[in-house]
Amino acid sequence: MSETVILAIETSCDETSAAVVVNGRKILSNIISSQIDIHKKFGGVVPEIASRKHVELVLPVINQALEEATVKLEQVDAIGVTYGPGLVGALLVGLSAAKGIAFAAGKPLVGVHHIEGHIAANYLENETLEPPFVCLVASGGHSHVVHVSDYNIFEIMGQTRDDAAGEAFDKIARALGLGYPGGPLIDIEAVKGNSKAVDFPRVHFNDGSLDFSFSGLKTAVLNYLNGMSQKGLEINLPDVCASFQQAVVDVLVSNTLKAARQKGVARVALAGGVAANSQLRSAMKMAAEKAGMEMYYPKPILCTDNAAMIGAAAYYEFKRGNVSGLDLNAKPGLRLGDKNCG
Ligand code: KG4
Ligand code: ZN
């Protein structure tokens, strides 16, 4: 089989990343320069600072990715790049770099949807995984249950009606004084706690919708914290974290399995930053086993934003002939499943 080498670039939020990926499955390099330490002191990502940092880092990171892969630009078959959704200023930096390289080196440009990239992270570690499957994509900006019927065909079966799952983690962590980003910090505390200590709500819609809603849960946690403080009582931090986390995980797992049953697929996958959550991974594994389904998830570093996942998705777009023009623009609100070339 001939090899297709993709140089991929991802700058949609606060990681500047470049990777070299072969045939959508094999990572030769995956350089991730995180800005988390810079944004931490503001309690979240500051878009203008993110763009400026991307400008500083994007070319060194791309060079490092090529060097580490020992691949020369001439050996690259296509340049894959995230063009949405994300922060517009941040997206534009990666996109401009990708267009410049594609033009100068005479290589095709492949625009990739960020969420499609998160889903494709699963191909990097699970050689046997092929569509169809149902994927839960849970990140700081998105909570989607997606039916992946083919490499390029996505149907959103459920999505959040308010906060994304990662956003809920981040907001609750802030209220608990844990810092940013909240997901990993709550995950660590929760391991020491009792997930049944506080009964927080799980929202399911009566109309059979597989949508999520986390704002009620967020309010319930905030009310609980206020109530305790008004009574002059200390909270048990690990118990609150474990109980909150369990409430999020329960709805994520149950809607994903319902979606898989509806589509008659026997494979479920996890993607996005929240997919790094230890309780989500173990609960989904148990539920999938019970339902006789196979379960897939990328290792934590491939769950959060990285360019290797963009390289995997770009490969399947490229193979299908989905090459973008050099007039490709950043689309901060791009929806999954929208045509992404041209
Ligand atoms: O996919 P990602 O890196 O960026 C977006 O595209 O949004 O996801 C970041 C989100 C943050 O909200 C972060 O708190 C959450 O993923 N996250 C986690 C964990 N690790 C990252 N949430 C729960 N548990 C974790 N271990
Ligand atoms: Zn992401």
CA Rg value for the chain: 20
Question: CA 302, 309, 50, 281: dihedral to nearest 10 degrees?
Answer: -30
pLDDT for 72 beyond 60: yes
| From 304, 305, 309, 334, mutation site for ligand 1 pocket: most ligand atoms within 8 A of C-beta | 304
Q: Which ligand does the CA of 169 lie closest to?
A: 1
Q: Is 139 in the pocket of ligand 1 (CB under 6 A)?
A: yes
Mean pLDDT along residues 323-338 = 92
pLDDT over 70 percentage in the chain? 98
Q: If you average pLDDT over every residue of the chain, what do you get?
A: 95
Residue nearest atom 13 of ligand 1, based on CA coordinates: 183
User: Cα-flanking dihedrals φ and ψ of residue 227, to 5°?
Assistant: -60, -45
Compute, in angstroms, the gap from residue 273 CA to the centroid of ligand 1.
3
Phi-psi region of 84 (alpha: psi -120 to 50; beta: other; left: phi over 0): left
Q: Is 170 in the pocket of ligand 1 (CB under 6 A)?
A: yes
Q: How confident is the model at residue 340 (pLDDT cuts 50, 70, 90)?
A: very low
- Nearest residue to 85 (alpha-carbon basis) of 330, 341, 339, 340: 330
pLDDT for 41 beyond 90: no
| Digit-coded pLDDT (tens) for 216-275 | 999 999 999 999 999 999 999 999 999 999 999 999 999 999 999 999 999 999 999 999
Q: Structural domains in the chain?
A: 5-120+303-319 (3.30.420.40), 131-297 (3.30.420.40)
Ligand 1 atom having least distance to the Cα of 276? 26
| Digit-coded pLDDT (tens) for 22-34 | 999 999 999 998 8
pTM: 0.94
